[in-house]
Structure 1
């Protein structure tokens, strides 16, 4: 009897619980092929800003359906497929599709991989492979079109590349071996270099204009880009951070941007939750972009482009986004169920200010790509149930005050969606 009463009182005094929802878009998914691309194109918060300003908004005017599937027996293998159709359904030429079959050497290390892409484009079959030695920081990659429809497109798409990457410095180059060069030598189609010192990251990139006269392009027709970024905060989704970037793109336009990722706690007022659930983690992203193009004789003067956007993930099922810009403005509502497989529905409405038209879009995503439920947790997030409820010791400074989430534990034991990525540039 005494043990039963003791057990009952102990049950009533459970530690406060904070719900830590998974992210709608897995952060590592967008960067898992980064070793086969230019580091310059991924640094300077470019991926985060593309996700904020473009993802889901780009579905306006069309219907999109995609699959992301991974067999449970072999997590090193997965397939992604996407089909897009015009919203009016009257132009069959507008139907596009793509499927990617991917294999990587280690399920937890995406930097050595091989994939085959099948697409309704000028390069319907394409092979991409990459190997990266983490101990030496050296990687080699290739992109090969297997059955191109156009010879010129094949020469443009075929690439060989080599890179060096460390925590504070990266340099690399790609060549297009099938493009004609008068000197019969392979000349770089792209060269990039970037470095980091404290909160400042700077980089430069050269991209060939397709002439393959190296010296002429370097000092004339080639496209140079420069960027400098000031950012503070961690890379993980649970780490608040901000980035301010100024970039000169392709010798023709100036881009200034700011991106801020906020991790906030709010109270839970839900009668269906347990009494010990005192708060929930929300993810809020804010950003703006200002782009000014240089005057060109062929296009005339270019008006500056300005846009601001924000997104709010209220819980594990609802994400809302909005943007206001000189070219277009829009709203997006995304709903996600965490079944197995999970299903995501998105509704987009975008107003084109130049055409004076409003376009609607609909998206459907089905995925079973790992991380639907948490497998390992940080000592500060002790798993209570498989539904993302975690005991957070010491989150309440005072009863009734806003809960504060501790984040000083090892990120290695966090679920994949919430881990900090490695520091290799």
Structure 2
């Protein structure tokens, strides 16, 4: 998510967002009488600003560099693109695209529903799986629409807050304490956004046992958007899609492949009844996907190995450069090293930066042409921030990290 320059501050915390406050009401010196009450059915989250702000040293993005149309059109398989008819696609998605996704996820093609990015998938699941008053258990911090889609359709969300101190590892005891017969959806991501931490197969198997015991009607949603964004020759973990029929997975071509502008994602759904309901829900919201986007995405997925390999090498180099910077800044910065994805979580050390200094840190970033993603957007606090290390060209990452050190100097003085 990126766009032109403007000022950017971290938005409201999760608590403030849930209370329906506008971003202005969270800023120092403002009062509730000075800003209108937020009236949207979906909570406001300042992550929307990433669509309007793109500073020169953008460390807020969680994707690798954007794929260009030229690079995409150079892939074999698009020779007849001029003959493509711009009619409707199928509600479940173009068969060529669904076949490509099925190969990626190792499930039958009939289990695939395409969506406009994983974001639509999150909404369709929230809208169709849950009814007002139902409960959903959500592992946080998380991608804001993972929570806000549930809240927008009236679901009671029980958050399981994973901790920076524990490396954002899944806590099955916490999850079990929040499961109930009213739970209809358990939602998590692997790798997580914003931390890049993966969930183990053993944890998923243990979670399924707990769900069978406490929440037999619930499904488990796993967001796998960053799964293929690995580092160098690191092995890619298999999708969880085929592990158990209670599992629904979602992903897209946005992050690892660098094509968020295609707005093409998917769900894998083993249960035929749920799959039919989701397809009807999709038809009643967007009718179908774009035939142009789906055709391009199908070719991209079929040729993904050639696209992913150089990106993985770049991510591996960027991660090592970031690791070296974090080691040099260890007296001021803590971090959780990611397992995959072009993103990770860093934290301003509390023994160096008090709350006033943290606020000043966000204020001075524009002075250094820097952009970061506040932890408050994801359900953390503003002392934590998501840093994306794959979006900038390699020759600019060092400059961005140096500028970040300068910003730390400015607020620590």
Which TM-score tier does this pair reach, normalised by the shorter chain?
A: under 0.3
TM, length-normalised to structure 2 = 0.28
Structure with the bigger percentage of helix? 2
Q: Per chain length, whose mean CA-contact separation is higher, i.e. which structure has more relative contact order (CA < 8 Å, sep 6+)?
A: 2
